[in-house]
Amino acid sequence: MKYALLLSLALNLILFLRLFILRASLKELGRDYSEHAGLDSNTLLGVSCRDRGLCELASRMNDSLRQMRQSYQLYKQGDKRMRDMLTNVAHDIRTPLTAIGGYLELAQRLDQSAEMRKYLDIVGERVRYMKNLAEELFEYLLIRDMEAPADKQDVFLNQLLEDTLMSYYPQLTEKGIEPRVEITEQRIMRKLDPLYTRRVLNNLISNAMKYSAGDLFVRLTETGTLEISNRTEELSPIQVSRLFDRYYTVENAQSGTGLGLSIVRTLLDKMGATAEGEYKDGRLLIRVEFP
């Protein structure tokens, strides 16, 4: 009886130690996965325990990692080839479009019938749209591949916003829009890239002006939050959620490229800032948080 009890205790101790080792090995495998399972990494998982089942689990996880990394590399290569192709196409399209615009301007100086002037105006509008599309596509692809600005500078957001609004004032007046502006008197200084920030403000004002139903409200708060809102056609939650997607426009008509707000979000991401859209009571609100 005594030997049976000792044997039972020994077996329980061995079982406990085995479970303890397996548990420790599973934790080790989990840490190893968190640290070395990146898609850009070449390291594989390993376990110190020689348990056959655990070694088989690690082997299968390594097989899955190899397949995912191979698929990811193929995706990156294909994505790079596609971006390079689009960059080249956008660049190549700009030259003939510029030439077409020049010849069209010469043609519009000649004596024309009313019907011919109508057709030339339509052609001119389509050429300007295509040129704008090529320019924004080319710029977007360049911006997407750029690194985050390493050397940020102090940007005086109050002044930069005022300058941007003043530059758009003639266009706003031409469209019958009298902007309402509230800019805090407190100096809002942020570490940002000045060129990126200026482009963000330009795109936001341009987008609001393009789709405004006749008004524009711009506010910069004491916390560094920029709000730009305007009345617009009724939007759905899905439309608002997709405003910052590439090539997405609220209207199906060719009135925009769908890249303006996508460029905004790309630049803000690189500077550590955020943007979101909201639609309420017939008004579209774009809110930017400068950290």
Question: Tell me: the pLDDT tens digits for 127-172?
Answer: 877 777 777 776 766 676 666 666 788 999 999 999 999 998 888 8
Structure tokens at 17: 């130690």
Whether 187 contacts 224, CB under 8 Å: no
Q: How many residues does the chain have?
A: 291
pLDDT for res 246: 56
> Residue 85 CB: number of other CB atoms within 10 A?
11
Residue 91 above 80 pLDDT? Answer: no
> 240, 239, 78, 80: which is closest to 144 by C-alpha?
80
**Average pLDDT, integer, range 245-270:** 64
pLDDT for res 71: 78
pLDDT for res 203: 85
> Which band of pLDDT confidence, cut at 50, 70 and 90, is reported for residue 290?
confident
**Average pLDDT, integer, range 103-111:** 79
Residue 49 above 70 pLDDT? Answer: no
> How many Å is the Cα radius of gyration of the chain?
30
Residue 90 above 70 pLDDT? Answer: no
pLDDT for res 252: 44
pLDDT for res 233: 73
> Which band of pLDDT confidence, cut at 50, 70 and 90, is reported for residue 254?
very low
> 194, 208, 193: which is closest to 260 by C-alpha?
208
This prediction's pTM: 0.57
Distance, CA of 148 to CA of 264 (rounded, Å): 14
Q: Which helix H or strand E contains 47, and what residues bound it? A: none
> Residue 204 CB: number of other CB atoms within 10 A?
21
Where exactly does CATH 3.30.565.10 map onto the chain?
Answer: 153-289
Structure tokens at 36: 């070395």
Region 153-289: CATH code: 3.30.565.10
Distance, CA of 61 to CA of 45 (rounded, Å): 8
Residues with Cβ within 8 Å of residue 58, at least 6 apart in sequence: 29, 45, 46, 47
Distance, CA of 276 to CA of 287 (rounded, Å): 5
Instruction: Give residue-wise pLDDT tens across range 169-188.
Output: 888 888 888 888 999 999 99
